[in-house]
Structure 1
């Protein structure tokens, strides 16, 4: 029956009906699936099937597939992507291992409870030994009225300059052997070998150390306590590193320390009077898990020099360095409070010469140590070994320290916080004479930092230059 004008003929037969679009259902579906059911499968597997819909390859009436072999290979490659990713990660693993130490902050060595307990036991013995009168103590069956210098070597490598120090101490002179003692703290992980000679049997029980960590403070305190306990006649304690050399003879060093005038020397003159100081210490009242109850019992200990008047400690103490605030807040903004306000925070060289009084001050301290042993949040500004000793001594006895060091160090052209290192080509008599000159009233006694290869040229000029004052 012909259609009525103005009306749409009802669609009752799907394959033959004529709709408003003027196209059959088959025609509509052909726009979506021009190649039948196969295209439906390809549309699922191949994301670029629309490209083939708009640009049919070849003759559409051909019985061959419109998809090439490369199309199906791309499907296979898609499923191999995880393996490609894994292979790429394996290739980058060596690069990660190589550059990670330069990108990630280094892991700082912490002090274990057992190490802390061992140190406290050593410190207790050293402090209690001061209760004896120095003149009445006998060591190795003999007495000696002359004070001694304790040389404290802090190292994590072999003692490359042992031949220089052997000439410096010159043990062939029996009278000189009674004027010094030697103690070596060597990192147990570094496999440091004893060079023999004056260093034979002078290594003390040591713990692991790491630069820019509290372990260097612990190592120095360990050396001080061992020397205090070992010989009551140790009156000065000179801390040096494996890269230090003497700039004068032993006699010159000894006379400088023990025959100096009593007025306190300044950087330019001796104008400031020296005030004799006798320190008294009150043990902390709050007991610690690691400490002995007897140690924390309130008592007053008086630390006296073995002989002679009170003397100066030669340690650098600086208060106006530009990086001081960053170092003060390295553990957190208010972490150092209330024990250490910022105006009491100091910086200085980690190598020094301390009196026996100040050596006991250091090993008896608990209040400041509990702050400086805390880990730093900003590791780039963390150098506790350069702050603990000058801060402690300037707070406890500001008139008893020189505020400058007798160890010459060159910070010009420093790299990664390390001072300038002299090479063999630079070693000469002129260099030694130049390193001796200081801004204070005293000549520099020691110099750092020298490369291990410098030992040969230094030995050549030792007799005629270094040890000839």
Structure 2
């Protein structure tokens, strides 16, 4: 998974006009129109890679002590794989051999590199330039290994508005904002018809 992400970044970097890079899945949707998202990303002083220290079996429990001294337990981080980063960080990610090699050697099931490599690497090397959060909203309220899915009947204008303004507060360029998420998931293919129908009412196009 991480190898695929690095290849995607490497190919996107070939176009010198690409300055920001965001990983989305086929089940992600935008919550705002393109100009709004573009302005938010291009105006950001930091990248968006979620990283946090999580005790227990699905956090610190996935760490292999053979990773030391390159990666110590207190440096081990977990986070969403749905990242956004600027060009400088993207170059650092695809150029990394030191930390990537350690993950390749020791991050084996039940260690999942897509949940740990970027959060750990960015936290060790570039934490000052990282916002420490993801831009993709996901519903984990039901628990379990997978987030909630949203089908056709879930999609209403009111529901999409709540995803935009769900009571969250975060930091953007040193100031507090309520615009914390630009995307949301997981939406099934059957939800597409309603999403296309309601998008103009929400996004002013």
What is the TM-score with the length of structure 1 in the denominator?
Answer: 0.40
C-alpha deviation, 1:376, in angstroms: 5.0
Structure with more relative contact order (C-alpha pairs < 8 Å, separation 6 or more): 2
Aligned residue number for residue 463 of structure 1: 200
C-alpha deviation, 1:426, in angstroms: 0.9
2:164 to 428, 436, 440: 436
What's the secondary structure of 1:237's corresponding residue? strand
Say if 2:19 is the partner of 1:228: no
Judged with a 3 Å threshold, the aligned counterparts in structure 2 of structure 1 residues 340 and 375 are, in CA distance, closer, same or farther, namely closer
Aligned residue number for residue 400 of structure 1: 129
C-alpha deviation, 1:414, in angstroms: 4.2
Superposition pairs of residues 364-443 of structure 1, within 5 angstroms:
364-374=95-105, 379=109, 381-415=110-144, 417-437=145-165, 438-440=168-170, 441=177, 442-443=179-180
Aligned residue number for residue 174 of structure 2: none
Aligned residue number for residue 451 of structure 1: 188
What's the secondary structure of 2:24's corresponding residue? strand
CA distance in 1, matches of 2:76, 2:187: 30
Equivalent pair of 2:13/2:87 in contact (CA under 8 Å): yes
CA distance in 2, matches of 1:383, 1:411: 18
What's the secondary structure of 2:23's corresponding residue? strand
C-alpha deviation, 1:259, in angstroms: 3.1
CA distance in 1, matches of 2:91, 2:143: 33
Higher helix share: 2
C-alpha deviation, 1:462, in angstroms: 1.0
CA distance in 2, matches of 1:336, 1:436: 40
Large movers: runs of 4+ above 6 Å = none
Query: Across the two proteins, how many residue pairs are aligned to each other?
Result: 195
C-alpha deviation, 1:327, in angstroms: 1.2
* Deviations 1:118-151 (CA, angstroms, capped at 9, x unpaired): xxxxxxxxxxxxxxxxxxxxxxxxxxxxxxxxxx
C-alpha deviation, 1:468, in angstroms: 2.9
C-alpha deviation, 1:375, in angstroms: 5.9
* Deviations 1:309-337 (CA, angstroms, capped at 9, x unpaired): xx3101111113433221113xxxx2211
CA distance in 2, matches of 1:383, 1:351: 14
Equivalent pair of 2:139/2:148 in contact (CA under 8 Å): yes
C-alpha deviation, 1:436, in angstroms: 1.5
Equivalent pair of 1:316/1:405 in contact (CA under 8 Å): yes
Judged with a 3 Å threshold, the aligned counterparts in structure 2 of structure 1 residues 321 and 406 are, in CA distance, closer, same or farther, namely farther
CA distance in 2, matches of 1:366, 1:435: 38
CA distance in 2, matches of 1:345, 1:375: 13
* Deviations 1:44-101 (CA, angstroms, capped at 9, x unpaired): xxxxxxxxxxxxxxxxxxxxxxxxxxxxxxxxxxxxxxxxxxxxxxxxxxxxxxxxxx
CA distance in 1, matches of 2:119, 2:185: 19
Q: Which protein has the larger Cα radius of gyration, Structure 1 or Structure 2?
A: 1
CA distance in 1, matches of 2:67, 2:107: 11
C-alpha deviation, 1:363, in angstroms: 0.3
C-alpha deviation, 1:447, in angstroms: 0.5
CA distance in 2, matches of 1:318, 1:362: 19
What is the TM-score with the length of structure 2 in the denominator?
Answer: 0.89
CA distance in 1, matches of 2:6, 2:126: 18
Structure 2: runs of 5+ lacking an equivalent: 171-176
Judged with a 3 Å threshold, the aligned counterparts in structure 2 of structure 1 residues 405 and 321 are, in CA distance, closer, same or farther, namely farther
* Deviations 1:393-415 (CA, angstroms, capped at 9, x unpaired): 11111110000111101112244
